[in-house]
Structure 1
Amino acid sequence: MNSLLKFITCGSVDDGKSTLIGHMLYDAKLLFADQEQALELDSQMGSRGGAIDYSLLLDGLMAEREQGITIDVAYRYFTTEKRSFIVADTPGHEEYTRNMAVGASFADLAIILVDATHGVLVQTRRHTRICSMMGIQHFIFAVNKMDLIDFDENRFDKIARDIRQMMSEYDFASMKILPVSATEGDNITLKSDRMPWYRGTSLLTYLENINVATEEDDYAFTMPVQRVCRPDRTFRGFQGQIETGAIRIGDEITTLPSNEKAVVSRIIDAGRDVEASDRGHAVTISLDREVDVSRGCVLVKDTAPYVGTLFTAKLLWMDDTPLVAGKNYYLKLGTKMIPAVVMNISHKIDVNTGNEIPADTTYKNEIVQCDISVSDKIVYEKFKNNQALGSLILIDRVTNMTSACGVVLHSLRRSDNLTWQKLDVTREFRANQKGQTPATIWMTGLSGSGKSTVANALEKRLVSLGKHTMMLDGDNIRMGLNKNLGFKEADRIENIRRISEVSKLMNDAGLITITSFISPYQRDRRTARDIIGNESFLEVYISTPLEECERRDIKGLYRKARAGQIPNFTGISSPYEAPEHADVTVDTTNMSVDECVDKIIEALEARFGK
């Protein structure tokens, strides 16, 4: 028997993906008796006038059956005399592209269906590009619904030419194009006598015999560490799945990113001691000496993946919220989860032509190339060299939704030439010299809420108490340091990032920094907290309502915004996301300035001392 084959069915909506797999299972007698009876009964109320609706075998959700479409990924395991299979039947609708990408991430082979009456469509091209991006090297194009075009050879040949032209830009190991009828069963499990001009094998026969094994480097061992196991003081082991290569007792390995070397003293595989283990096995490895290893580190032998903080990646954007440069996410790569920021967007990739399109914003289901920076050194590799260390996802830090999946294209070496310079005059020395605890008081609120007034009064109070301060006001900063930034989302994100870095430098100088910025987005304030450090960050929400701010309209900005003269104005044409858990909340509607300052000073003393 050949090895297990994991494959995906994809393509445009209503191309017959579920029907094709369902018919294959039915004709090959791979169903239990009760499943067959249930299918025949369910088909009585199906969309085929009582004839068997094979798609019902995989479309299990009620919404799928009602609409006649696939929404979620349906996994099905089956075995023939020659091979075992796991198939992921994925949706064709553009709305559910993210579900299709999940299915593609596990597969060795893709069956991409093409409707013979429509030919190659945009979604066909998108799914082909995603499959290639996910590392699939084996493709089958099933030109379906041949019965609707009277099994026309010329029409099939034209579609086959379009497919070959589309595939000319991709690297792949094998490609098969065959005509089928999913509803009638032609060329699914047996050769059809209605297409004598087709001389190839049936789909099932081809699947049973194709070899998708890859030639892995026998010597290049990599294992991302998932867990450090320490049941007692006598044992310390590193647990994870071996992604490439093999390992034996006595082998010298390198731990990354610490770059320490040690010798393997023990290997535990499936609960028992073994001399060696290889790719695909989940093992516990013990070393002959103590090394600096934790979850997210990687054990390697005879290979040298990248260790750094900057790289270029290709992403499939899956979030309803657009991507703009400067946004912060959690990046999951291997077993490592780490804060990351999309530094810039190089270009989008046209799903039809593959052409690069200049862009500064990316929307749902678009493919984009961008540079990503992470907060600390991680271990990664080009996806084409190591899929485990070259594939990633981005997770929204507020909603925890998966925003994108992607692959590493190459490293950006400029980060390797930078080294943090340690200073003899430290932050602690400057703080002791000034007799205070450095901190950043981050004031946020709508325009006209009273941020600058309260910040100014707070600074005067702190100075009168003998403190050393620096105030950063939104307008003042935009007239100098950030005068090149506008008010689009990307500019707002960069504005807050720069302010956060400046505030951190002020804190390093031993100063108490007071900032007065609208900073309307939760994620940007969270980024500011991360940059400055939670231990030094005090968020103050000036919660004055919009109606009161607009009534004051100190600068006349609300009037101009209402008249359409100021686009992207927070509270009118651009949203303000109020803090959910601010350290201090004050409302200048019913509190005097002195009362606001008293409350902030009280919070400062409770948090940082006098």
Structure 2
Amino acid sequence: MADRDPSFQTDALIAEDIDAYLEQHQQKSLLRFITCGSVDDGKSTLIGRLLYDSKMIFEDQLSALESDSKKVGTQGEEIDFALLVDGLAAEREQGITIDVAYRFFTTEKRKFIVADTPGHEQYTRNMVTGASTADLAVILVDARKGVLQQTRRHSYLVHLLGIKHLVLAVNKMDLVDYDQTVFDEIVADYAAFAEEVGIETFTPIPISGFKGDNITASPSINTPWYKGLSLIDHLETVEVAATAAQERSFRMPVQWVNRPNLDFRGFAGLITDGSVKPGDAVRIVPAGKASRIKSIATFDGDLDEAVAGQSVTLTLEDEVDCSRGDVIAAADDPPEASDQFCATFVWMDEEALKPGRGYWLKLGSQMVTATVQPPKYEIDVNSLEHLAAKTLELNAIGVAEFSTDRPITFESYGKSRQLGGFILIDKFTNATVGAGMIEFSLRRAQNVHWQPTTVTRDDHAAMKNQKPRVLWFTGLSGSGKSTIANEVEKQLALMNRHTFLLDGDNVRHGLNKDLGFTETDRIENIRRIGEVAKLMADAGLIVLTAFISPFRAERRMVREMLPEGEFIEVFVDTPLEVAEKRDVKGLYKKARSGELKNFTGIDSPYEAPENAEIRVNTVDMTPAEAAEYIIKQILPLK
């Protein structure tokens, strides 16, 4: 038998080495961290240095980097490491970071994902985005400038976002001749601030991102007075969140119910906290049903145990109701479930928060409708002062109470970032408009329970021999809403139908007497009317409402309160010029002269319905004709 080709043996050895390397790489833990601080503190330079020293850039990237460094004016052979991270053209032109830049690198001990976050105040939402998944924050301070307002701002934000591990990296030590006194004064100044905001511990390290002191190599000869670890040594040894999560009680939000056939029903998800074994007692939250783990299924077969960070499919011994959004938890220590809670949140949209408006709230795999009450206060993150606020503008941080359309499962953000952090989504644009951290559930949510009654809404409707409906008349002031709604009720009364008309002006004499005409007050006005209309529909009535109700979001909110088919939107489509000519109350004249502010159609918007069930035009119809047309559309009434 001929000898085997030596090149074959070499290839086999190389393949074995590659396999061994990949297996070793997969076993490494992952640390996510961010760099933040004031403008020009050297965040991008630091990350570029980490990438360069860990040999995570290719030859062509290095050549381009050296060429670009000469263009920006560095001296001699010096490299501008910030160019590795500042990828946007605007960033390079201005010498600042605007967007969040994520970079990956690895060492022999650990894998890293680092986010370079912007230092400017107007990019607070970008910084919050980068910090939301981080385990550690590197707060950079320019040794020449010391602790600045932005240093305090970002430190407060990362503390607010639950990052436990903080590194105070005093950068540009080479520009102060590596003076220990400068370093000690900065550390003392920061320690006083940290105690004020509740930061318990931080690790100070003197560095030079440009020269490389105390970053990746052993302690620098330029700082013989510093006896601590280099930055990379600290990053390689600090405890990651996954380790701490495994020590907490078991939690797994259900992302998908796996039912490939009639013989298998499993619940798939990512274990966020704790560990689980077959036979463990669990509870389904918010329903509260109890069972035990039957098996832990994965693609590679069943497991004897699963821990935080693993994605698995759990089967239960009992046929209990469990679906996407539920949380399978340790039976003896389940998380909370409530429909009202208090939270700190960051507003991230150009358009200001609308208290009372319904937003999608996404927490893990749960998606519910949430309304935000007017903020208790806004936090000035520069002075930590609590400011009075009726709403929140872009990048503002506030504390407010939230209510959801059904109970959600959560824990305080300080206890669990996965079950305590949420985002708010605009229902129409699908844009993420806010990010929040739950603090606690409201006591009234636990004390107030729905009282079951014997006579149901179906019984009420049967006694009146009709199907409940809400006829929601919307249109500009002067369009004819009240006149037509009144005419519809007259004709329904002649048909022996049980009705009630809620008129905008009449309701503001009592129930909504305390509300003005700002956007926030208009939203609350419609929310209250929606709740009243729902109660009247529960009583079996045909409810007619005549309100401008200028915003689609609030009309949709009322629609979602009622069973499908009971909300009928009636658009009284009258052009602005026609409504203004009528001007029976003289309101348009006052609005045009500036005497009346926030008037719909003049200095406040009206969002016309896009798919109203009924549309009438008062230019071509008399009120009686419009009423007759509307009644024909809603027949039969049983």
Q: Normalising by structure 1, what TM-score?
A: 0.94
Are residues 275 and 150 of structure 1, via their aligned partners in 2, closer, same or farther at CA, if it must alter by over 3 Å?
A: closer
**Aligned: 1:362 with 2:362:** no
Matched, 1:237 2:266: yes
Q: What is the 5 A alignment of 1:213-228?
A: 215-216=244-245, 218=247, 220-228=249-257
| CA distance in structure 2 between the partners assigned to 1:245 and 1:16 by the alignment | 38
Query: What is the 5 A alignment of 1:109-188?
Result: 109-149=136-176, 151=178, 153-172=180-199, 174-188=201-215
- Superposed CA deviations along residues 312-362 of structure 1, whole A, max 9, x for unmatched, are 111112122222432221111121101111134222222023232232222
Instruction: Percent identity, please.
Output: 51
Q: Provide the secondary structure at the position in 1 that maps to 2:511.
A: coil
Paired residue secondary structure (1:95): helix
Tell me the CA shift for residue 155 of structure 1.
4.3
Matched, 1:293 2:322: yes
Q: Match of 1:13, as an amino acid?
A: V
Please report how far the alpha carbon of residue 438 of structure 1 lies from its aligned counterpart in structure 2 after TM superposition: 0.8
Label 1:75 to 1:485 Cα distance change in 2 as closer, same or farther (>3 A).
same
Q: Are residue 550 (structure 1) and residue 580 (structure 2) matched?
A: yes
Alpha-carbon offset, residue 406 of structure 1: 1.5
Structure 1 CA distance for aligned equivalents of residues 74 and 585 of structure 2:
67
Which structure would you say has the larger Rg?
2
Q: Is the aligned partner of 1:63 residue 2:72?
A: no
Task: Indicate yes or no: 2:230 matched with 1:202.
Answer: yes
- Give the residue type in structure 2 aligned to 1:208: E
1:148 CA drift (Å): 4.5
Task: State the AA in 2 paired with 1:20.
Answer: L
Deviates more, 1:202-211 or 1:186-195: 186-195
Deviations 1:120-154 (A, max 9, x none): 33333232222112211111122333445555554
Is contact 1:109–1:136 with CA below 8 Å preserved after alignment? yes
1:392, 1:243 → 2: CA distance?
15
1:503–1:532 Cα contact (<8 Å) kept: no
Tell me which amino acid in the other structure corresponds to 2:214. N
1:98 aligns with 2:88: no
Q: Is the 8 A contact 1:12 1:121 kept in 2?
A: yes
The residue type paired with residue 230 of structure 1 is R
Task: Output the CA distance in 2 between the equivalents of 1:3 and 1:317.
Answer: 33
The Cα offsets for residues 499-553 of structure 1, whole Å up to 9 and x where unpaired, read as 0011111111111111111111221111111223442111112221222222221
**Which of 435, 453, 460 is equivalent to 2:465?**
435
Distance 2:478 2:174 in 1: 69
Does the aligned pair in 2 maintain the 1:312–1:408 contact within 8 Å? yes
Pairs within 5 Å for 1:130-529: 130-149=157-176, 151=178, 153-172=180-199, 174-190=201-217, 191-212=219-240, 215-216=244-245, 218=247, 220-301=249-330, 302-529=332-559
Matched, 1:583 2:613: yes
Q: What displacement does 1:554 show?
A: 1.2
What is the SS of the residue equivalent to 2:159?
helix
Give SS of 1:274's match: coil
1:22 matches 2:48? yes
Equivalent-residue separation in structure 2 for 1:276 and 1:196 (angstroms): 48
Aligned mates of 1:597, 1:100 — CA distance in 2? 55
Distance 1:28 1:377, change over 3 A: closer
CA RMSD of aligned residues (A): 2.3
Give the aligned partner of residue 54 of structure 1: 81
Query: Kindly tell me: are residues 520 and 42 of structure 1, through their superposed partners in 2, closer, same or farther at Cα, counting changes over 3 Å?
Result: same
Contact map agreement 1:138 1:173 (CA 8 A) in 2:
no
CA contact (8 A) 2:424 2:435 kept: yes
Range that drifts further, 462-471 or 288-297: 462-471
CA-CA distance at 1:47 after TM superposition: 5.7
Please give the TM-score of this superposition, normalised by the length of structure 2. 0.90
Q: Which of 523-532 and 504-513 deviates more?
A: 523-532
Deviates more, 1:470-479 or 1:171-180: 171-180
Quick check: 1:32 aligned with 2:33?
no
Distance change >3 Å, CA 576–CA 12, structure 1 → 2:
farther
Equivalent position amino acid for 1:89 in 2: D
Structure 2: gaps of 5 or more residues: 1-26
- Is the contact made by 2:500 and 2:541 (CA closer than 8 Å) also made in structure 1? yes
> Which stretch shifts more, 154-163 or 523-532?
154-163
Q: Distance in 2 between matches of 1:270 and 1:554?
A: 72
Contact (CA 8 Å) 1:324, 1:345: kept in 2 or not?
no
Residues 1:249 and 1:82: Cα distance change in structure 2 (over 3 Å):
closer
Residue aligning to 1:560: 590
CA contact (8 A) 1:325 1:343 kept: yes
State the alpha-carbon separation in 2 of the partners of residues 49 and 452 from structure 1: 77
- Which whole-Å deviations, capped at 9, do the CAs of 1:40-86 have from their partners, x for residues lacking one? 23334346478522122122233333433323322222122333222
**Aligned-residue offset at 1:35:** 2.4
Deviations 1:78-121 (A, max 9, x none): 12233322211122233332222121111111012223444333
Q: Secondary structure at the match of 1:168?
A: helix
1:452 and 1:30 map into 2 onto residues whose CA distance is 70
> Do the aligned residues in 1 keep the contact of 2:44 with 2:116 (CA within 8 Å)?
yes
Aligned residues: 608
| 3-state secondary structure, aligned to 1:420 | coil
2 CA distance for matches of 1:215 and 1:112?
A: 23
- Cα deviation per residue 1:277-307 (whole Å; 9 max; x = unaligned)? 1111101011112101010111111312112
Q: Using the TM superposition, name which of 220-229 and 118-127 deviates more.
A: 118-127
What CA distance in whole angstroms lies between the structure 1 residues aligned with 2:155 and 2:526?
39
